[in-house]
Chain A
Amino acid sequence: MKRKGRIIYHVDMNSFYASVEMAYRPELKGKPVAIAGNPEERRGIVVTSSYEARAKGVKTTMPLWQAYDHYPELIVLKPNFDRYREASRSMFSILSKFTPIVQPVSIDEGYMDVTDYVGNRNPVELAKSIQKRILDELDLPSSIGIAPNKFLAKMASNMKKPLGITVLRKREIKDKLWNLPIGEMYGVGQKTEEKLRKIDIETIGNLAQKDVLTLKNLLGINGERLHQRANGIDDRPVDPDAVNEFKSIGNSTTLPYDMTDQTEINKVFMQLSEKVAARMDRKGVVSENIQIMIRYHDRKTITRSKQLTQFVETTNEIVTIAKQLFQQHWNEEPIRLLGVTAQHLTPKDEMAKQLDLFNYEKDAEKEELYLAVDKIKEKYGKDAFIKPKDHQAELNTSFQKDFLNEYKEK
């Protein structure tokens, strides 16, 4: 069964560092608190501040002396990054209990795709329970934007702070989005803002109604993208893999029964390698180190990896190495779980492949095609080619797994 649209949350922690400090030291609550490098020296700048401090005119990146000018009683704390990382992990761990499709964007914000997990619940109620849980368990305030895509969700979470929940439907963009000044649009930086203002685009609405060609000439491919966003169109998926960008891609599976049969085991390796290869393809990366994991019936677990001299990307390449490793390291005891991980990943566009004398024909055959593709890319930008994908099918693979493991292991 397919839904009409997606339901995306953007969860944004409110003045995160300051809130974490307040959670540690409740006596600070309700007070103007700023986090800054070198509070003693007055030379530091404000990294973040509580809403109370903001109310007094303290702003992020403001030099400390200036902040003191605004408000002499300002409480300034040194940043405590370990504390923030820890809080961030706990926060994402909570989010991942609601849906595995969580994409952390930074230490204090992330997207969730709850389309398939919201069930019969009201999306606003679900968001409230998420917000409440973060507040109850971690004592941290957050704002959540609810929308059919990432861009609108991001814009929505910004509309009401702290502890806001804002729904931004596509049909509401004229009323809620278009009147905002162009500089507030996510994706429009200072430079872009200047350029847009020069052609009299003052609001997001102006941008939405401008013709695409003008924007494309002004900003290139990005102009078209911004135009779409301003019209509420954004089809980027929430991608849990983005969190471990280019570190590793792995899949593992617990076997239905403890296995010793080589043929069965090879089948499992084939399936796992297929998944890994598909995910690598989706991320546009290649690997030069393949690792396998074997967990035996007694839960004893080993990982073994092989450093390669050539990049690998296809199922066949991966499964061959995985099986080799398995042959070398299996002690013939029954196996409960198997895993395959591609490590040392490199984005394809940064890499080059040394062709092999004995099999260069495989690449050479497609030379004409590559030449044509290059020409088109030169003309229309790198995103001119996207492989067609079935979004539903993606959700069924366990591609979120390693991301989630990071939180589950805690």
Chain B
Amino acid sequence: MKILIEREPLMASIQNVMKAISSKTTIPILSGIKFEANEQEVKLTGSNSDITIESVISREEDGIVNIHEIIPGQIVVQAKFLPEIIRKLPDNQIEIQVDDDMNINIRSGHAEFKLNGQDPEEYPQLPVLQTENSFDIQIDLLKMLIRQTNFAVSTSETRPILTGVHIKLDNNELGLVATDSHRLASRKITIDQVENLSFNNVVIPGKSLSELNKILEDTQDTLQISVTDNQILFRTKHLYFLSRLLDGNYPETSRLIPDQSKTVMKVNSKDLIQSIDRASLLAKDNRNNIVKLVTQGQQNIQITSHSPEIGQVEELLQTISIEGEEIKISFNAKYMIDALRAIDSEQVLINFTGAMRPFVIRPEEESEQILQLVTPVRTY
């Protein structure tokens, strides 16, 4: 195998597949990147037990030449040093040559690295996804969906199923839900041309989605999503991102969302974020990062927090309106800020149903199909 390739596309590809490579892998060959070259392109693969990423570099694209020379072949290269080597090579063109004994020769300008390769035959065969369950989605939209839900997945393994984002497609509506059992993020969008397609109980590991989100660039290109029983594939022109799905039944979450409320507050979300952020400066020290919100009349809320050793903070915030009963409620400041940031709307509506019941945050414009649920903290 031999390729003469431009540094930039190679570097980008390596960085993409590196997202799937774990330094702690139990299968030694998976600590490497697989290179496959054919006449038209070079494909790089990185994998761990949860995700597999393939990144394709075309010989030429949109009139720009990426690869100047290809002699087809395959090799697995140790991933640990590769990104640094490629980054620091002196010239913008890089030649990678592999001999029959799997010795790798990387040359650029006057620099030459000789690396030991591994047998590509030993690299696990990747499953070929056979499915009719495919639909297209715009990349920037997908990234937004991930950003608005994925933060709420659980980081604790006590209920493994909650470490993933639940997705559901039904009646042209795609719904994502994530919850760590303390807060819940839900987002729905309408998707065209999927009349015959529906699935439920597809749970993607949160880690997979955050890696995917890092790799995907914010463009309006489309991406294809294919779902099977135990895997999900995200495919763009140059990228294959395959993730395992989580086993088990995702809990029914729709019943968790209160359908009535006793107090409705409309507030400028930036003001609220800033105020809670300030209060949480002291709250970070206490266990649950607790901030207390108390309504005062029909206009104002008081945000307070205290830490026994440090001190306390108090702030009065004017809302747009408060309707219904008075409320005194404590919650984790981080959950509230995460939720408000995810909604990303100028004004939000917060519906409370009591100090010990979850409250719902929605954007003021009801058309937006996003909802955040936060469970309060009970103070003794």
- Write the residues of chain A forming the contact surface with B, with a CB cutoff of 8 angstroms: 309, 346, 348-358, 360, 363-364, 367, 370-371
Which of B46-54, B62-70, B350-358 lies at the binding interface?
Answer: B350-358
Contact across chains for A360 and B156 when beta carbons are under 8 A apart: no
Chain B residue at smallest Cβ distance from A362 = B356
Given A360-B356, A360-B375, A364-B354, also A353-B380 (CB < 8 A): yes
- Give complex CA distance A353, B377 in Å: 5
B184 interfacial by beta-carbon distance below 8 Å:
yes
Q: Does B158 contact A (CB under 8 A)?
A: yes
Which among B179, B308, B379 is the interface contact of A357 at CB below 8 angstroms? B179
What mask results when residues 281 to 313 of chain B are scored 1 for a CB within 8 Å of chain A, else 0?
000001110100000000000000000100000
Name which residue of chain B comes closest to A286, CB basis.
B380
Closest residue of A by beta carbon distance from B357 = A364
Residues on A with beta carbons closer than 8 Å to the beta carbon of B373: 357
With A351-B287, A352-B290, A352-B378: A357-B184 Cβ-Cβ less than 8 Å? yes
Residue pair B288, A352 in contact (C-beta under 8 Å):
yes
Cross-chain contact A358 with B251 (CB below 8 angstroms): yes
> Can you identify 18 A-B contacts, CB atoms within 8 angstroms?
A309-B158, A346-B287, A348-B380, A352-B287, A352-B377, A352-B378, A352-B380, A353-B377, A355-B376, A356-B181, A356-B182, A357-B183, A357-B184, A358-B251, A360-B357, A360-B358, A363-B356, A370-B378
State the Cβ distance, A285 to closest chain B Cβ, in Å. Answer: 11
Question: Judging by beta carbons under 8 Å apart, are B256 and A364 in contact?
Answer: no
Out of A346, A349, A367, name the residue touching B354 (CB < 8 Å). A367
Q: Is the CB of A352 within 8 A of B330?
A: yes
User: A370 vs B377: C-alpha distance in the bound complex, in angstroms?
Assistant: 14
* Cβ–Cβ < 8 Å partners of A349 in chain B: 380
Note all chain A residues with C-beta closer than 8 A to B358. Answer: 355, 357, 360
List residues 34-80 of chain B with CB under 8 A from any CB of chain A.
Answer: none
| A356 close to B330 (CB less than 8 A) | no
Q: Which 9 A-B residue pairs are closest in the complex by CB-CB distance?
A: A364-B356, A355-B375, A352-B379, A353-B378, A352-B377, A367-B356, A348-B380, A363-B356, A364-B357
Residues of B within 8 A of A346 (CB): 287
Q: Which of A350, A355, A357 contacts B378 (CB 8 A)?
A: A355
On chain B, the number of residues with a Cβ less than 8 Å from chain A's Cβ atoms is 28
Check if B332 is an interface residue, CB within 8 A of chain A.
yes
CA distance A355 to B375 in the complex (A): 6
Bound CA–CA A360/B182 (angstroms): 10
Q: Binding site of A, secondary structure by majority: helix, strand, loop or mixed? A: mixed
- Minimal beta-carbon separation of B329 from chain A (angstroms): 11
Q: Which residues of chain B are near A363, meaning CB under 8 Å?
A: 356, 378
Q: Which residues does chain B contribute within 8 Å of A351, judged by CB atoms? A: 287, 380
Kindly list chain A residues whose C-beta atoms are within 8 Å of the C-beta of B288: 352, 354
B251–A355 CB distance below 8 A: no
* Chain B residue nearest in CB terms to A350: B308
Q: How far is B356's CA from A355's CA once the two chains are assembled, in angstroms?
A: 8
A370 cross-chain contacts in B, Cβ below 8 A = 356, 378
- How far is the CB of B359 from the nearest CB of chain A, in Å? 11
A357-B182 in contact (CB<8A) = yes
Main SS of chain B's interface residues? Answer: loop
Contact call B375/A367, Cβ cutoff below 8 A: no
Given contacts A363-B378, A367-B354, contact A354 B184 (CB under 8 A): no
Contacts of B379 in A (CB 8 A): 352
Chain A residues lying within 8 Å of B308, measured Cβ to Cβ, are 350
In Å, the complex CA distance between A370 and B356 comes to 10
Query: When chains A and B are docked, how far (Å) is the Cα of A371 from the Cα of B329?
Result: 12
In the bound complex, what is the Cα–Cα distance between A371 and B378 (angstroms)? 11
Q: Binary interface profile of B, 346-380, with partner A (CB < 8 Å = 1, else 0)?
A: 00000000111110000000000000010111111
Which residues of the other chain, B, contact A352 by a CB distance below 8 angstroms? Answer: 286-288, 290, 330, 377-380
What's the least CB distance linking B162 to chain A, in Å?
10
Which residue on A lies nearest to B354, using beta carbons?
A: A367
Task: Evaluate contact between B355 and A367: CB separation under 8 angstroms.
Answer: yes
Who on chain A is nearest to B180 by CB?
A357
* A364 CA to B256 CA, complexed, in Å: 14
Give the CA-CA distance A346 to B330 in the complex, in Å.
Answer: 19
Q: Output the nearest chain A residue to B253 by Cβ-Cβ distance.
A: A357
Closest Cβ of chain A: how far from B225's Cβ, in Å?
A: 28
In whole Å, how far is A366's beta carbon from the nearest beta carbon of chain B?
8
Given contacts A352-B379, A355-B378, A370-B378, 10 further A-B contacts (CB under 8 A): A346-B287, A350-B308, A352-B288, A352-B378, A353-B380, A354-B288, A354-B377, A357-B181, A357-B183, A370-B356
Residue of B with least CB distance to A288: B287
The complex places the Cα of A353 from the Cα of B355 at a distance, in Å, of 12
Instruction: Please report the C-alpha to C-alpha distance between residue A346 and residue B286 in the assembled complex, in whole angstroms.
Output: 12
Contact (Cβ within 8 A) B256 A358: yes
In B153-181, the 8 Å CB interface with A consists of 156, 158, 179, 181
Task: Give chain B nearest CB distance to A70 CB in angstroms.
Answer: 41
Q: Which residues of B contact A350 (CB under 8 A)?
A: 308
With both chains docked as a complex, state the minimum distance between the C-beta of B154 and any C-beta of chain A, in angstroms.
Answer: 10
Q: How far is the CA of A348 from the CA of B380 in the complex (A)?
A: 6
The residue of chain B having its C-beta at the shortest distance from the C-beta of A309 within the complex is B156
In the bound complex, what is the Cα–Cα distance between A364 and B356 (angstroms)? 5
Q: Which residues of B have CB within 8 Å of A364?
A: 354, 356-357
| Least Cβ–Cβ distance between B263 and chain A, in angstroms | 14
Q: Which of B299-338 contact A (CB under 8 A)?
A: 308, 330, 332
Chain B residues near A355 (CB, 8 Å)? 182, 356, 358, 375-378
How far in angstroms is the closest Cβ of chain B from A373? 10
**From B251, which residue of chain A is reached at the shortest CB distance?**
A358
Q: Smallest distance from the beta carbon of A16 to chain B beta carbons, Å?
A: 31
B330 (CB) vs chain A CBs: closest residue: A352
**A222–B41 CA distance with the chains assembled, in angstroms:** 84
- In whole Å, how far is A369's beta carbon from the nearest beta carbon of chain B? 11
Q: Mark B201-245, 1 if CB is under 8 A from A, else 0.
A: 000000000000000000000000000000000000000000000
CA–CA, A353 and B376, complex, Å:
9
**Contact pattern, B 255-290, Cβ under 8 Å of A = 1, otherwise 0:** 010000000000000000000000000000011101
Known: A309-B156, A349-B380. A356 touches B375 (CB 8 A): yes
Q: In this complex, what residue of B is CB-closest to A360?
A: B375
Closest beta carbon of chain B to A383's beta carbon, Å: 15
Q: Give the residues in chain A near B287, CB-CB below 8 Å.
A: 346, 351-352
- List residues of chain A with CB within 8 A of the CB of B380: 348-349, 351-353
Closest to B373 in A: A357
Q: What is the CA–CA distance of A370 and B328 in the complex, to the nearest angstrom?
A: 13
Cβ contacts under 8 Å, B184 to chain A: 357
Q: How far is B156's CA from A356's CA once the two chains are assembled, in angstroms?
A: 14
Q: How far is the CA of A33 from the CA of B354 in the complex (A)?
A: 65
User: In the complex, what's the smallest C-beta–C-beta distance from B177 to chain A, in angstroms?
Assistant: 11
Q: Give chain B residues whose Cβ lies under 8 Å from the Cβ of A309.
A: 156, 158
The CA-CA distance from A67 to B290 in the complex, in Å, is 52
How far is B373's CA from A356's CA once the two chains are assembled, in angstroms? Answer: 11
Interface centre among A309, A350, A352, A363 (most CB of B within 10 A): A352
Q: Complex: how many Å from CA A400 to CA B182? A: 38
Nearest chain A CB to B374 CB, angstrom units? 9
A400 → chain B closest CB, angstroms: 27
Residue of B whose beta carbon sits closest to that of A368: B354
